[in-house]
A and B are shown apart, each in its own frame.
Chain A
Amino acid sequence: MGFGGKKGTVSPSERNPSPRPKRRPKPIQKRKLKRKNVEELKQEVVLDDHRLTLEQLSAKYSVDLSRGHTPERAKGLLIQNGPNVLTPPPTTPEWVKFCKQLFGGFSLLLWTGAILCFVAYGIQLYFNEDPSKDNLYLGIVLAAVVIITGCFSYYQEAKSSKIMESFKNMVPQRALVIRGGEKMQILVKDVVLGDLVEVKGGDRIPADLRLISSQGCKVDNSSLTGESEPQSRSPDFTHENPLETRNICFFSTNCVEGTARGIVIATGDSTVMGRIASLTSGLAVGQTPIAAEIEHFIRLITMMALFFGVTFFGLSLILGYGWLEAVIFLIGIIVANVPEGLLATVTVCLTLTAKRMARKNCLVKNLEAVETLGSTSTICSDKTGTLTQNRMTVAHLWFDKTVYEADTSEEQIGKTFAKGSDTWSVLARIAGLCNRADFKTNQEHLPIAKRSTTGDASESALLKFIEQTYSSVTEMREKSPKVAEIPFNSTNKYQVSIHLREDSSQTHVLMMKGAPERILEFCSTFLLNGQEYPMDEEMAAAFQNAYLELGGLGERVLGFCFLNLPSMYAKGFPFNTDEINFSMDHLCFVGLISMIDPPRAAVPDAVSKCRSAGIKVIMVTGDHPITAKAIAKGVGIISEGSETAEDIAARLRIPVTQVDTRAVKAIVVHGSELKDMNSQQLDHILKNHTEIVFARTSPQQKLIIVEGCQRLGAIVAVTGDGVNDSPALKKADIGIAMGITGSDVSKQAADMILLDDNFASIVTGVEEGRLIFDNLKKSIAYTLTSNIPEITPFLMFVVLSIPLPLGTVTILCIDLGTDMVPAISLAYESAESDIMKRLPRNPKTENLVNNRLIGMAYGQIGMIQALAGFFTYFVILAENGFKPFDLLGIRLDWDDRFLNDLEDSYGQQWTYEQRKVVEFTCHTAFFISIVVVQWADLIICKTRRNSVFQQGMKNKVLIFGILEETFLAALLSYTPGMDLALRMYPLRIAWWFCAVPYSILIFIYDEIRKLIIRQRPGGWLERETYY
Chain B
Amino acid sequence: MTKKEKKSFNQSLAEWKRFIYNPTSGEFLGRTAKSWGLMVFPKPLSALEYTFSASDPSSYRGYIEDLRKFLKPYTLEEQKNLTVCPDGILSEQKGPVYVACQFPIFLLQACSGMSDPDFGYSQGSPCVLVKMNRIIGLKPEGTPRIECIPKDENVASISTYPNNGIIDLKYFPYYGKKLHVGYLQPLVAAQVIFSANSTKKEVTVECKIDGSPNLKNQDDRDKFLGRVAFKIIARA
- A interface residues with partner B (beta carbon < 8 Å): 881, 898, 900-901, 903, 905-914, 974, 976, 979, 985-988
Per DSSP, chain A at the interface is loop
Q: 6 tightest A-B contacts by CB?
A: A907-B177, A909-B133, A911-B37, A913-B222, A986-B29, A911-B224
Within 8 A of A (CB), among B133-151: 133-136
Chain A contacts of B46 at CB under 8 A? 898
Chain A contacts of B177 at CB under 8 A? 905-907
Given A901-B133, A976-B15, residue A910 in contact with residue B31 (CB < 8 A): no
Cβ proximity bits B25-53 to A, threshold 8 Å, 1 near / 0 not: 00001110000011100001011100000
By beta carbon, the residue of chain A nearest B46 is A898
Q: Which of B46, B178, B222 has the most CB of A within 10 A?
A: B222
How many whole Å from A899's CB to the nearest CB in chain B?
8
Tell whether, in the assembled complex, residue B47 and residue A900 are in contact, meaning their CB atoms are under 8 Å apart: no
C-alpha spacing A901/B30, complex, angstroms: 24
Chain B contacts of A987 at CB under 8 A? 29
Given A900-B37, A906-B178, A979-B30, residue A913 in contact with residue B48 (CB < 8 A): no
Q: List 12 additional contacts besides A901-B37, A906-B136, A986-B29; criterion CB under 8 Å.
A: A900-B37, A900-B38, A900-B39, A907-B176, A907-B178, A908-B134, A908-B174, A908-B176, A911-B37, A912-B222, A913-B225, A974-B19
Tell whether, in the assembled complex, residue B29 and residue A974 are in contact, meaning their CB atoms are under 8 Å apart: yes
Tell whether, in the assembled complex, residue A900 and residue B134 are in contact, meaning their CB atoms are under 8 Å apart: no
Chain A contacts of B29 at CB under 8 A? 974, 986-988
26 sampled A-B residue pairs with Cβ under 8 A: A898-B46, A898-B47, A898-B48, A900-B38, A900-B133, A903-B134, A906-B176, A906-B177, A907-B134, A907-B136, A907-B174, A909-B37, A910-B37, A911-B39, A911-B225, A913-B222, A913-B224, A974-B19, A976-B16, A976-B19, A976-B30, A985-B31, A986-B29, A986-B30, A986-B31, A988-B29
- With an 8 Å Cβ cutoff, the count of chain B residues facing the other chain is 31
From the candidates A881, A909, A976, name the one contacting B39 in the complex (CB within 8 A): A909
C-alpha spacing A910/B36, complex, angstroms: 9
Per DSSP, chain B at the interface is loop
C-alpha spacing A913/B37, complex, angstroms: 10
Tell whether, in the assembled complex, residue A908 and residue B48 are in contact, meaning their CB atoms are under 8 Å apart: no
C-alpha spacing A901/B132, complex, angstroms: 9
Given A979-B30, A986-B31, residue A910 in contact with residue B133 (CB < 8 A): yes
Chain A contacts of B223 at CB under 8 A? 913
C-alpha spacing A974/B44, complex, angstroms: 39
B87 contacts partner chain A, Cβ-Cβ < 8 Å: no
How many whole Å from B143's CB to the nearest CB in chain A?
22
B221 contacts partner chain A, Cβ-Cβ < 8 Å: yes
Tell whether, in the assembled complex, residue B136 and residue A908 are in contact, meaning their CB atoms are under 8 Å apart: yes
From the candidates B48, B131, B133, name the one contacting A911 in the complex (CB within 8 A): B133
C-alpha spacing A986/B16, complex, angstroms: 13
Tell whether, in the assembled complex, residue A901 and residue B221 are in contact, meaning their CB atoms are under 8 Å apart: no
Tell whether, in the assembled complex, residue A909 and residue B134 are in contact, meaning their CB atoms are under 8 Å apart: yes
How many whole Å from A357's CB to the nearest CB in chain B?
44
B219 contacts partner chain A, Cβ-Cβ < 8 Å: yes
From the candidates B19, B183, B219, B224, name the one contacting A900 in the complex (CB within 8 A): B224
How many whole Å from B33's CB to the nearest CB in chain A?
12
How many whole Å from A689's CB to the nearest CB in chain B?
73
Chain A contacts of B44 at CB under 8 A? 898
Chain B contacts of A976 at CB under 8 A? 15-16, 19, 30
C-alpha spacing A987/B44, complex, angstroms: 36
How many whole Å from B75's CB to the nearest CB in chain A?
20
From the candidates B19, B133, B219, name the one contacting A908 in the complex (CB within 8 A): B133
C-alpha spacing A85/B131, complex, angstroms: 91
C-alpha spacing A593/B223, complex, angstroms: 101
C-alpha spacing A909/B219, complex, angstroms: 18
Chain B contacts of A913 at CB under 8 A? 219, 221-225
Q: Which of A881, A901, A910, A976 has the most CB of B within 10 A?
A: A901
Chain A contacts of B136 at CB under 8 A? 881, 906-908
Chain A contacts of B135 at CB under 8 A? 908-909
C-alpha spacing A598/B29, complex, angstroms: 74
C-alpha spacing A914/B223, complex, angstroms: 10
Chain B contacts of A912 at CB under 8 A? 222, 224
Chain A contacts of B16 at CB under 8 A? 976
Tell whether, in the assembled complex, residue B222 and residue A911 are in contact, meaning their CB atoms are under 8 Å apart: yes
By beta carbon, the residue of chain B nearest A913 is B222
C-alpha spacing A690/B38, complex, angstroms: 85
How many whole Å from B50's CB to the nearest CB in chain A?
13
